[in-house]
Structure 1
Amino acid sequence: MNKRPFVRVNDTTLRDGEQTPGVAFTTEEKVRLALMMQAAGVPELEIGIPAMGAQEQHSIQAITAALRASQLNSTETMAWCRMTEFDISQALNLGLDWVDLSTPVSRQQIRSKLNSTPEHVLARTDRLVKQALDFGFKVCVGMEDASRADMDLLLSVAEVAERAGASRIRFADTLGILEPFKTQQMIGELRRHSELEIEMHAHNDLGLATANTLAAIDAGATSINTTANGLGERAGNAPLEEVVVALNVLSKADTGIDLLQLPLICQYALQASGRQVSLQKAIIGAGVFTHESGIHIDGLLKDINNYQGFSPSLVGREHTLVLGKHSGISAISTVYRNLGIELDEQQCQLLRATLRQWSETHKCSPDEVALRALAQSVAIINCPVGEDYGSN
């Protein structure tokens, strides 16, 4: 059996995740999130932008100090910097292990954002990578807008970065416009021409960030950027929980991350960010292991593997059966049995008709009080119910 490759997760919740419009973490929230991720085995965190000023630098320093003071002391830290002397200077003396020196690499951004030329980008990359190394940092060269760049220029940037002493290049799909086949092609071309670590930074504008991240790994990427709950600019980044669980379930790579810790991390990130996620958000949504359909529940009750792609226990969760418009006899009988109420087939048929009408009216799944009330309404049982059962 082939051993799965190790992929290093560089989580950027505390940097790119905080760039979500309206999201602003306190230093205390950042430190707690960082420690939670370290405890879960996340090996690398991108934790801020030193050039933002003294307050940001204070937060970065608090995070690096807390991580090193913990018993684990196992997570490395990175700061995001522009490819400038000033940004590198602002990252000094903060306890950081890495700097990501980011530079536009598409002709669009080189011309319209930097008012520069590819030749100048290459020269500056060579000079500033060496400067950052002289200060003691490990260096990742961030290739901004790489998905719109000419491959010849990407290869040239990678060559210059490698020759200057960088350890890694970051391929940034800054606008989230890639699809997996193109991702695999571009990352594969970089892999064939460079010995550097390759990091995939995917945005989710087309809903493809997770897929593109997996495709990049298939093509030879050795490091990936994620954010808890997919926080980030616009439609966000590749979600930590989706990517890590997918890598495990699909046997693509090992990350060393404890999957059981992911719901706790994501829940705290939701609280700290003031954001909500859909009930059907993959991995962490409240309803993703909940079943109503009669066909599905009947199949699950016969053999759980009939409708289980992976066990919810992988992330510390479990299946839940609820009743609604699409519930069948097996589901109704099972759910009521769990309430201590035995029903025959005729009673289940009566309830099924009532359930359909109730579901269309209330637009939700009935809770225990409502279920008992429904049974009472068709004269199946005689039990007291609260007056407010229909308000849920």
Structure 2
Amino acid sequence: MNVLPAKPVFIGDTTLRDGEQTAGVVFSAKEKIAIARKLDAMGVHELECGIPAMGKEERSSIRALVDLGLSARLITWNRALIPDIDASISCGITAVDISLCVSDIMIENKINKSREWVKEQLRRALGFAKSRGLYVCVGGEDASRADLSFLGELMQIAKENGADRFRFCDTLGILDPFTMQEKVAALTAAVPQFDVEVHAHNDLGLATANALAGFRGGASYISTTVNGLGERAGNAALEEVVMALKVACGIDVGIDTRRLSAISRLVGKASNRGVPAWKAVVGERVFSHESGVHADGVLKNPAIYEVFPPEEVGLSRHIVAGKHSGTNGIVECYRQIGIPLSIEEAQKLMARVRSASQLIKGPLQPQDLIRLHETLTLAAA
């Protein structure tokens, strides 16, 4: 029997940091405030809100978020360098992520250092941060390609020096969920009673699955972004992770899911990355039904073909008239525009609806349905 971890799970959102690192994405200060307020109002536990070392303008926007007095914990991303941490402190921040390269390929080729340097730098930066009373997450960049025994050493050093958690980053999105669970489980067993966060990227389309797998392996924090925004193919999507935990795992993390659609639209607009209509959980048309069998089933009982009600994520159900429509679906489409149909009338219209849909290569709009109904009425006169 596959038993879920007993510990609670906390949702962190990094839309304002990793999300904004999406190539070409820039949020204005006003947009950052709007996004932060909505995330906070829906109950997201932690917001990673920027990189203070980037400069004065970034620090100003972070200070504005601090001044909002949100319930969510605000945390900033920093290299494991004292000047970076000082920049965070200057913004009024009380929680920091201090990031270090932890895979040999990055240690040797990106920063031209050694494992011993990484361990010493961790002690130095962590000691400074804790001496300033900060909550500290130690971020392991490229942890998914790092040697597990070395990661265990770093986690032990972090724990002994007062760190509050360790961030396991699948920076290149290379893991499958089975390996993610195994690696996180090995680390949580090696360094018990020390919180682990999983930060998954979506290069292979597995970020949400890997986020859940990391939780199953013992991680108590999951990093997400709205709409899965982020570097390259993005990160684990907030809306997918929250609903997957709720529906697939039976875990309610205390987030008001009715607000998911609204925050998705806001971030989509602010990032100039429109939300696809078929986007999992929050796409405008993920509760659309056209196929005769499916539409008939949903009209009889929505649970037949919907895993949760659309209202649960702030959306609505749509019955669509198109190539695959059946009689009951056509009756419902006409009912929605105020035209009652008998089954016999729907059966007569069905061929016309299907033919018209093929001609326009899409669903019929209300005006199309009205026109077809008029031709049927004229034919019967």
Name the TM-score class by shorter chain: over 0.9
Give 1:191-230 correspondences, 5 Å limit: 191-194=188-191, 195-230=193-228
Deviation at 1:192, TM superposition (A): 0.6
Task: Report the Cα offset of residue 345 of structure 1.
Answer: 4.2
SS at match of 1:101: strand
The answer to whether the Cα contact below 8 Å between 2:265 and 2:275 also exists between their aligned partners in 1 is no
| Residue 388 (structure 1) aligns with | none
1:102 alignment partner in structure 2: 99
Aligned residues: 377
Partner of 1:271: 269
Q: Does 1:137 find its partner at 2:134? A: yes
Q: Does the Cα contact within 8 Å between 2:126 and 2:136 map onto a contact in 1?
A: yes
Contact 1:138 / 1:166 at 8 angstroms: preserved in 2?
Answer: yes
TM-score, normalised to structure 2's length? 0.95
Does the CA-based 8 Å contact 2:99-2:139 persist in structure 1?
yes
* Structure 1 stretches of at least 4 aligned residues deviating more than 4 Å after TM superposition: 2-5
Counterpart mapping for 1:130-279 below 5 A: 130-194=127-191, 195-279=193-277
- In structure 1, the residue matched to 2:336 is 338
Matching residue of 1:116:
113
Counterpart for residue 34 of structure 2 = 32
The C-alpha deviation readout for 1:268-312, integer Å capped at 9, x for no partner, is 111111111211101111100111011101112222221121111
Q: Following superposition of structure 1 onto structure 2, how do residues 56-67 of structure 1 map, counting pairs within 5 Å?
A: 56-66=58-68
Residue 54 (structure 2) aligns with: 52
How far 1:3 moved relative to its partner? Answer: 10
Partner of 2:358: 360
- What percent of counterpart residues are identical? 44
Q: Is the alpha carbon distance of 1:217 and 1:359 closer, same or farther for their aligned partners in structure 2, counting shifts above 3 Å?
A: same
> Which stretches in structure 1 are left out of the alignment for 5+ residues?
383-392
Aligned equivalents of 1:232, 1:280: Cα separation in 2: 19
- Which residue does 1:390 correspond to in 2? none
Identify if the C-alpha distance between structure 1 residues 177 and 381 changes in structure 2 by more than 3 Å, giving closer, same or farther.
farther
Say if 1:268 and 1:4 are closer, same or farther in 2 by CA, change over 3 A.
farther
- Indicate conservation of the 8 Å contact 2:203/2:233, yes or no: yes
Residues 347 and 380, structure 1, Cα contact 8 Å, conserved in 2 = no
CA-atom RMSD in angstroms: 1.9
Task: Give the match for residue 303 of structure 2.
Answer: 305
The 1:360/1:5 distance shift into structure 2, 3 A limit, reads farther
Distance 1:342 1:256, change over 3 A: closer
CA drift of 1:380 comes to 6.2
Letter in 2 for 1:120: W
What residue in structure 2 maps to residue 351 of structure 1? 349
Q: Compute the displacement of 1:20 (Å).
A: 0.7
Alignment-derived partner of residue 8 in structure 1: 10
- Stretch of structure 1 that moved more, 373-382 or 51-60: 373-382
Which residue of structure 1 lines up, in the alignment, with residue 290 of structure 2?
292
What amino acid is the match of 1:50? Answer: P
Instruction: Provide the secondary structure at the position in 1 that maps to 2:322.
Output: coil
Letter in structure 2 aligned against 1:149: A
Per the alignment, residue 386 of structure 1 pairs with none
CA distance in 1, matches of 2:190, 2:285: 45
Is contact 1:81–1:102 with CA below 8 Å preserved after alignment? yes
AA matched with 2:85? I
Deviation of 1:5 (Å)? 4.3
Letter of the 1:176 partner, please give it: G
* Counterpart pick for 2:324 among 323, 326, 331: 326
Is the partner of 1:21 in helix, strand or coil?
coil
8 Å contact from structure 2 (residues 14, 224) kept in 1: yes
Partner of 1:16, secondary structure, is: helix
Q: Check conservation: 2:200, 2:210, Cα contact below 8 A.
A: yes
- C-alpha contact (below 8 Å) 1:140/1:170 kept by paired residues: yes
Residue type at the aligned position of 2:35: L
Amino acid at match of 2:30: E
1:21 aligns with 2:23: yes
Distance 1:54 1:185 in 2: 42
2:279 is matched with 281
C-alpha separation between the residues in 2 aligned to 1:314 and 1:365?
25
Q: Deviations over 1:96-155 (max 9, x none)?
A: 121111011111101100101111111111121111111221111100001111111111
Please state how far the C-alpha of 1:338 moved relative to its aligned partner.
3.4
Say whether the 8 Å CA contact 1:6–1:254 is kept in structure 2.
no
Name the stretch that deviates more: 350-359 or 41-50.
350-359
Any gaps of 5 or more consecutive residues in structure 2?
none
Query: How high is the TM-score relative to the length of structure 1?
Result: 0.92
> Which residue number corresponds to residue 375 of structure 2?
377
Of 81, 85, 88, the residue aligned with 1:88 is 85
Amino acid at match of 1:51: A
Output the CA distance in 2 between the equivalents of 1:74 and 1:345. 54
